Structure 1
Amino acid sequence: MRKTLFTLAAVLFVTSLAACSNMQLMGGGKSPDSTAVAGSNAPTADSMHHCSTPLGTLAVYEDQRSPWYQLLTSQYQLPSTVPVLKLLVQQSNCFVIVDRGNALDTAIGERALGAAGEIRATSRIKKGRMVAADYTMTPSITFSSQNAGSLGGVLSMIPVVGNYAAQVAGQINTKSASTTLTLVDNRSTVQVAAATGSARNMDIGALGSIMSTHTGGTIAGYADTPEGKVIVAAFTDSLNNLVDSLKQYKTQHVKGGLGNGGRLKVD
């Protein structure tokens, strides 16, 4: 009877750890795990802040030479953040996205075919139809990970379930990420706005490696990685903060005009 109770306690403990695996935005919401948007038809998501009308056209630029990008793609094995940001931005309805990546290369190829006379004349693919990007958004990420190994040392002293609980707790990591989004006016190259965001979760993927020996399953092999979910949540937080700041935007003025010498004089 006592062994049964301890076994039940172990199961409840593991279940409670699993409950801690929910990703949290520092602002209190959750990221949209899956969604779709088309044109101005952007479904409402509880965690997203929205604009009643778009503020202009937007291109997303990702510095793939930066250290954070190397960490993102090598250590965490995650792809470019550009598709994620495009989805979030279009869902917010604050900007109309213009592509400056692979889709642009395809569009240029279509124009080349048109110029060579290989496309029907009624296709209307010609020069002068491409939409300019009014603004460019640039992301950056800072990663953080904290191990809960000290908790495992305490739990190991619990009779019967201690060693098992310690194995689980010792492999729990608190994942967190801080993100920054900057918005630049393409015509003047003036930075219009910048916003930070953050999110965290509890990664208990190691729990799967312990249980898989009994179930034959691979609980740890989840398709959506905890790092990926945290990054999406942090970018959602950043975008929300950016949207809120843009709603209060006022034009910046410098006496004498921007770029005309400034007001801090030197001899």
Structure 2
Amino acid sequence: MSAAQRPRVPGRMAAAAVLGVAALLAGCETTNMRMGSSEAKTVATGSAAGAANANASDALERCESPLGTVSLIENQQAGWYTILRDQYRLPPTANLLRLLVQQSNCFVVVERGAAGMNAMTRERALMQSGEMRQGSQFGQGQVVASDYGLSPEIVFQNNNAGGASASLGGLVGGRAGGLLAVIGGSLNTKEASALLTLIDNRSGVQVAASEGSASKTDFGAMGQLMGGSGGARMGGYSNTAEGKVIAAAFMDAFNQMVISLRNYKAQTVRGQGLGGGGRLGVDGAAPPAQTSAPRAATGAQAGVAMPLRDAQARLNALGYNTGTPDGAMGQRTAAALRAFQKDKGLPQSGRLDTATADALAQ
């Protein structure tokens, strides 16, 4: 066979390969970064700044004005948190709740996390050391109280993983309260139900509880996520199916809570009142009046006719410098009291006794 008669297959194959590579390269041209991609979002999206928000989910319930301050409390020693962090590679659930709560304008979020509190302590230490410039205003008495506490808790469950479901549930031990998100489902479905509880920090009374749920059916088997390779693929709430369904359950539970809080009515106990023994009395129990601690005497009940703060203000007006009246007995206040007592011919005890209070009141 002559050279002219030989088939030219290799050349044609090479040309086809070149065309294929060119096509692939052409398909790779559109690789520009896209900000705000809908594929990378959860229901917790956008931002919040004070009472303003941007690009928040339309499904989020909102309040006309805040109902109080709230702190997010997450037990990082719990079994559910270990699973969330080590197997799902997800960030703290408090991060999601902070955004949802502030965007709703139902509560003002105050910092109580370890990192945030450490940062505040560090700044105060710098202020006390004298290193900060004048006017930095990092003195005491500026931290806002947390009226309520919202604590998340998650229970993971995989109905198709056999013993894995029982072992994961055993890590949590069926604890009550906080946030409960149960995740399970079939080969291609994941579901999450969430329970949120709101606690009054002053009294310890549960103010509200709510349940929410979410489901997603377009991703693979739950069992694959329990292995090492599955865990290594996990990331944030926005780029994992597990994170998205958990975020959706959180929002649904929070929405249900807001709806109930709009019609909130405080619970009352007839008879002894809240915490006074209850209506389900135990036979032979002592009456609450006999078991409660006596209140500390103040003012005239303690034999002193004038509160210390008022005494400090009076001493300042008379020229005895006590500093800013704060109701605390410091060295400056004691020195001012002794000077006043000396001028009035009273025993120089440096304490606000009845005779000194009477003299200041004249």
Is the pair's TM-score, using the shorter chain for normalization, greater than 0.5?
Answer: yes
How far residue 200 of structure 1 moved from its aligned partner, in angstroms, is 1.2
Partner of 1:153: none
Identity %: 49
Which residue is equivalent to 1:51? 63
Q: In 1, are the aligned partners of 2:189 and 2:216 still within 8 Å (CA)?
A: yes
Which residue of structure 2 aligns with residue 258 of structure 1? 274
Distance apart, 1:67 and its partner CA: 2.6
| Structure-1 residue corresponding to 2:48 | 37
Runs (4+) of structure 1 exceeding 6 A deviation are 220-223
Write out aligned runs for 1:216-235 (5 A).
Answer: 224-235=239-250
- Go from structure 1 to structure 2 and tell me whether the alpha carbon gap of 1:221 and 1:140 turns closer, same or farther (over 3 Å shift): closer
Amino acid at match of 2:147: D
Number of equivalences: 204
Deviations 1:190-227 (A, max 9, x none): 11001111111124368xxxxxxxxxxxxx88861100
Q: Which has the higher strand share?
A: 1
Which residue number corresponds to residue 77 of structure 1?
Answer: 89
Higher relative contact order, structure no. (Cα contacts within 8 Å, ≥ 6 residues apart): 1
The 2-side partners of 1:34 and 1:51 are apart by 18
* CA distances 1:24-50 after superposition (whole Å, capped 9, x unpaired): xxxxxx952531110000245211000
* Corresponding residue for residue 253 of structure 2: 238
Q: 2:156 aligns with which of 143, 168, 178?
A: 143
1:62/1:139 Cα in 2 relative to 1: closer, same or farther (>3 Å)? same
Structure 1 unmatched ranges of 5 or more = 1-21, 24-29, 148-170, 207-219
Distance in 2 of aligned mates of 1:71 and 1:120: 45
Question: What's the Cα RMSD here?
Answer: 2.5
**Any unmatched runs of 5+ in structure 2?**
1-37, 161-185, 222-232, 284-362
Counterpart residue identity of residue 185, structure 1:
D
Larger radius of gyration: 2
Give how far 1:68 is off.
Answer: 2.0
CA gap of 1:33–1:253, structure 2 versus 1, over 3 A, is closer
Secondary structure of residue in 2 paired with 1:177: strand
1:121-154 CA distance string (max 9 Å, x none): 211111001101010011222334466xxxxxxx
Normalising by structure 2, report the TM-score: 0.52
How many angstroms apart in 1 are the aligned matches of 2:93 and 2:102? Answer: 14
Residue type of the alignment partner of 1:42: N
Cα 1:137–1:222 shift into 2, 3 Å: closer
Deviation at 1:104, TM superposition (A): 1.8
Cα gap change, 1:56 to 1:266, in 2 (>3 Å): same
What is the CA distance between 1:178 and its match in structure 2?
1.6
